[in-house]
Amino acid sequence: MRPSIICCLLLTLNQACWAQELFVEDRACITKAAAKLPKVATIGQSRVVPQPQAQGRHEQDVYHVKVEIDVSVAGQTSTYIFNCIHSGALTVIQPLGMR
């Protein structure tokens, strides 16, 4: 991952932490999802949205949330959406699209 992306991601995570405390799983999901963004993307905000069925809670050691990351690519702003399932040391990210 490029250093500029890492820097922007850390700033985004820090800003989100000021508003609310993020779970370790949330940070893992955001970090893994950011790695799947286009290399030329500038990261804006990121957020974790609990899934209705799992409600973003620990259930049977599986954590399931939707990650939304606002990015700017070539002057266009979009929101990339990812499905994230975290269990133990394994985090699986599935791109769901963008809006």
Hey, which of 25-34, 52-61, 82-91 has the most confident mean pLDDT?
25-34
* Full residue range of the structural domain in which residue 94 is found: 3-98
Q: Does the pLDDT value for residue 10 go beyond 70? A: no
Q: Does the pLDDT value for residue 35 go beyond 90? A: yes
We report the CATH number of the domain holding residue 20 as 3.10.450
Between 33 and 20, whose confidence is greater? Answer: 33
State how far the Cα of 71 lies from the Cα of 83, in Å rounded to an integer: 17
Name the pTM for this structure.
Answer: 0.70
Percentage of the residues of the chain whose pLDDT score is greater than 70: 71
Answer for the pair 88, 61: CB distance below 8 angstroms, yes or no: yes
Per-residue pLDDT tens digits for 42-86 = 999 999 988 766 444 545 678 889 999 999 988 889 999 999 988
Domains of the chain: total? 1
